[in-house]
Amino acid sequence: MTAEAYARLARDYGTPLYVYDLDRVLSARQDLFDALPEQAVLYYAVKANPHPELASALREGNGRTCRAEISSTGELSAALAAGFTGSDCLYTGPGKTAEELSTAMRAGVHTFSAESVGDLRRLGRVALAHDVRAECMLRLNGTPGRASTSIRMTGVPSQFGFDVETLPEVMDSVLGVPGATVVGAHCFPLSNSADEDALISEFEHTAGLMAHLGRELGLPLRRVDIGGGFAAPYAAAGVRPVYKNVREALEHAFDRHLPGWRTGETEVAFESGRYLVADSGVLLTSVTNVKTTGDLTFAVMDAGINALGGMSGLGRLLPSPVTPTLVHPRPSAGVGGEPRPVTIAGPLCTPGDILAKNVVLPQLVEGDVLAVPNIGAYGPTASLLLFLGRPAPREVVLRDGEVLSVSRLDTNRTYA
């Protein structure tokens, strides 16, 4: 996308404006499939961006296409709206209720990640009530591999998964739950690992752990989900990694640990959210006011943590290193001056609404448009959309340079 094209979109549709390019979604999907063995299944983690056209792009095509990883009835609806079938979906999450499981099973979902004995029993009960099968992968909380970066989700006490240490004690009851067929295991040990060696060693560790549990405890291994952790920049400049060695390393590890994987006796799956969609998205936001106080200059934007909260709900408060760039041609042509440090604030009445501190930009004036890159994942739906009552940002989807759709999330109260 050229700066001129961004400026035109900002003019035509207003700001704040999310712009997604489906061509980039498809390139990311291609790169990730190229990094995985030919037999591997890939689930798109819908939470990264449930926009129906993005999810739909990941499902479409004649070659290798994604399935959907969901963990709520809202995400189920998003997946179905994107054209996935119930049987394309893997339903995960530590707090699944009987009601939502019932909804999911009625929609044809039959693959689940089971997080505990109670979860498994509930899955079995609901499946029996609907006279359907529930294929369950046990989510494992095991001892960690050596990866140290990123959000770690196993190996420490958490609400997720079966503790590997105590699995032997519950294995008999796990395998005997009426209505719930244990078909394999699921791990999601880490997120956002740009370090390829760390990622590989984590995958090797996971495959080894699953094989060990198969041997020692008779855990079935017809379907295994090895997890993900594929990285992408977030609201900052940069490019997503292209993993050159993962595929071969996985083939070795699977040959060693999961010998039936090449022929489909063991289906191996992976999950990804951010890698697939992050670099498809840009947020365009306008300067509404510039204020200088002492040595500091603040540019107040029309988008703040209400539209770009990302990660704030995940305990990673902004400012992360958000790196916006100035979109040219500037609506306010003619002004300029030496680049200077500026703090980028949002419009909310809370001092926490800061997107970036001391970024060096040409001197900003009201009406200038900034572009925040790499924000196709964990954008609007990961933000504090309702806080302070501003409308959700518009979202434009492009394909082959043409506008495919323009939409906006709606958040109205309905009385029960």
Q: Which stretch binds ligand PLP (CB under 6 A): 127-135, 175-183, 188-196, 354-362?
A: 188-196
Among 24, 29, 47, 59, which residue sits at the site for ligand PLP (rule: CB under 6 A)?
47
Instruction: Tell me the Cα Rg of the chain.
Output: 23
Per the CB < 8 A criterion, the answer to whether 361 and 339 are in contact is: yes
Q: Is 66 in the site for ligand PLP (CB under 6 A)?
A: no
Contact flags string 211-240 toward ligand PLP, x per CB under 6 A: -----------------x-x----------
Burial of 262 (0-12, 13-18, 19+ CB in 10 A): middle
Structure tokens at 35: 């990094």
- Give the interface segment with ligand PLP, choosing from 245-253, 265-273, 313-321, 331-339 (CB under 6 A): 265-273
The one segment of 27-35, 163-171, 187-195, 325-333 that binds ligand PLP by CB under 6 A = 187-195
Residue 191 touching ligand PLP (CB under 6 A): yes
In whole angstroms, the minimum distance from the beta carbon of 377 to ligand PLP comes to 6
**45 lies in the site for ligand PLP, by CB under 6 A:** yes
Using CB positions, name the residue nearest to ligand PLP. Answer: 273
How many of the chain's residues bind ligand PLP (CB under 6 A)? 16
Using CB under 6 A, pick the residue from 48, 79, 171, 348 that binds ligand PLP: 48
Nearer to ligand PLP, 6 or 188 (CB): 188
3-state SS track over 88-106: HEEECCCCCCHHHHHHHHH
Distance (Å, whole) CA 363 – CA 298: 11
Choices 49-57, 104-112, 129-137, 185-193; region in contact with ligand PLP by CB under 6 A: 185-193
Shortest spacing between CB 256 and ligand PLP, in angstroms: 25
Q: Dihedrals φ, ψ of 323, to 5°? A: -125, 90
Q: At its nearest, how many Å lie between ligand PLP and the CB of residue 271?
A: 4
Task: Give the residue, chosen from 141, 206, 272, 381, that forms a contact with ligand PLP under the rule CB under 6 A.
Answer: 272
Q: Which of residues 80-99 bind ligand PLP (CB under 6 A)?
A: 92
**Residues 29, 31: Cα–Cα separation, whole Å:** 6
Smaller CB separation from ligand PLP, 230 or 254: 230
Burial letters 222-237, b for 16+ CB under 10 A, else e:
ebbbbbbbbbbbbbee
- Minimum Å gap between C-beta 209 and ligand PLP is 17
E-assigned strand segments in 88-156: 89-91, 111-114, 134-141, 151-152
Query: Residue 40 or residue 299: which is nearer to ligand PLP going by CB?
Result: 40
Q: Is 188 an interacting residue with respect to ligand PLP (CB under 6 A)?
A: yes
The least distance separating ligand PLP from the CB of residue 139, rounded to whole angstroms, comes to: 8
> Binders of ligand PLP among 131-170, rule CB under 6 A?
none
In sequence order, what are the residues at sequence separation of 6 or more whose Cβ sits closer than 8 angstroms to the Cβ of residue 293?
Answer: none
Phi, psi of 284 (to 5 degrees): -100, 130
Closest separation between CB of residue 91 and ligand PLP, Å?
A: 11
Nearest residue to 195 (alpha-carbon basis) of 153, 154, 132, 146: 146
The distance of closest approach from Cβ of residue 378 to ligand PLP in the complex, given in angstroms and rounded to an integer, is 7
Residue with tokens 């791990």: 187
Q: Which residues 6+ apart lie within 8 Å of 351 measured at CB?
A: none
Cis bond leading into 331, ω under 30°? no
Coil, strand or helix at 167: helix
Q: Please tell me the distance from the alpha carbon of residue 352 to that of residue 318, in angstroms, as a whole number.
A: 8
The answer to whether 131 and 105 are in contact (CB under 8 A) is: no
Binding site for ligand PLP (CB under 6 A): 45, 47-48, 69, 92, 188, 191-192, 228, 230, 271-275, 377
